[in-house]
Amino acid sequence: MNHAPLPDSYGRLLTYLRVSVTDRCDMRCIYCMAEDMTFLPKAEILSLPELERLCAAFIRHGVRRLRVTGGEPLVRRDVMSFFHEMGRWLHRDTGQPGLDELTLTTNASRLAEFADGLHAAGVRRVNVSLDSLDPARFARITRRGNLARTLDGIRAAREAGLAVRINTVAMAGVNEDEFDTLIAWCGEIGADLCLIETMPMGETGEDRTDHYLPLSIVRRRLEQNWTLEPLAYRTGGPARYARIGQTGQRIGFITPMTHNFCESCNRVRLSCTGRLYTCLGHEGSTDLRAPLRAGEDDAAMMDHVRAAILRKPQGHDFLIGRDADDPARVRRHMSVTGG
pLDDT at position 328 is: 46
Q: What percent of the chain has pLDDT over 70?
A: 86
Residue positions forming the annotated binding site for [4Fe-4S] cluster: 25, 29, 32, 262, 265, 279
- Select from 130, 134, 199, 208 the least CA-distant residue to 173: 208
Q: Are 137 and 176 in contact (CB under 8 A)?
A: no
Residue positions forming the annotated binding site for S-adenosyl-L-methionine: 31, 71, 129, 199
What is the distance between the terminal CA atoms of the chain, rounded to a whole angstrom?
Answer: 32
Report residue 71: phi and psi, to 5°.
30, -155
Residue 77 inside a domain? The answer is yes
What pLDDT digit, counting tens, does each position of 288-337 carry? Answer: 999 999 999 999 999 999 999 999 988 655 454 444 554 444 454 555 56
Q: What percent of the chain has pLDDT over 90?
A: 74
CB count within 10 Å of CB 18 equals 23
Q: Are 308 and 276 in contact (CB under 8 A)?
A: yes
Query: Using alpha carbons only, how large is the chain's radius of gyration in Å?
Result: 19
Cα 15 to Cα 58: distance, rounded to the nearest angstrom = 9
pLDDT at position 236 is: 74
Residue 3 inside a domain? The answer is no
What pLDDT digit, counting tens, does each position of 245-295 carry? Answer: 999 999 999 987 655 567 778 899 999 999 999 987 777 899 999 999 999
pLDDT at position 214 is: 93
Residue 7 inside a domain? The answer is no
Q: What is the CATH number of the domain that holds 323?
A: 3.20.20.70
DSSP 297-324: -HHHHHHHHHHHHHT--SS----TT--T
Residue positions forming the annotated binding site for GTP: 18, 67, 105, 267-269
Q: Are 69 and 20 in contact (CB under 8 A)?
A: yes
Residue 230 inside a domain? The answer is yes
Structural domains in the chain (count):
1
Which comes out higher in pLDDT, residue 200 or 305? 305
Q: Are 192 and 249 in contact (CB under 8 A)?
A: yes
Residue 51 inside a domain? The answer is yes
pLDDT at position 200 is: 67
Residue 122 inside a domain? The answer is yes
What pLDDT digit, counting tens, does each position of 21-67 carry? Answer: 999 999 999 998 888 888 999 999 999 999 999 999 999 999 999 99
Instruction: Tell me: pLDDT of 126 over 70.
Output: yes
Residue positions forming the annotated binding site: 18, 25, 29, 31-32, 67, 71, 105, 129, 199, 262, 265, 267-269, 279
Residue 100 inside a domain? The answer is yes
Domain containing 90 equals 21-337
- State the average pLDDT over residues 167-179: 96
SS3 state of residue 286: strand
Instruction: Tell me: pLDDT of 169 over 60.
Output: yes
Going through 3-69 in order, the beta strands assigned E by DSSP cover 16-20, 65-69
- Select from 4, 107, 95 the least CA-distant residue to 334: 107
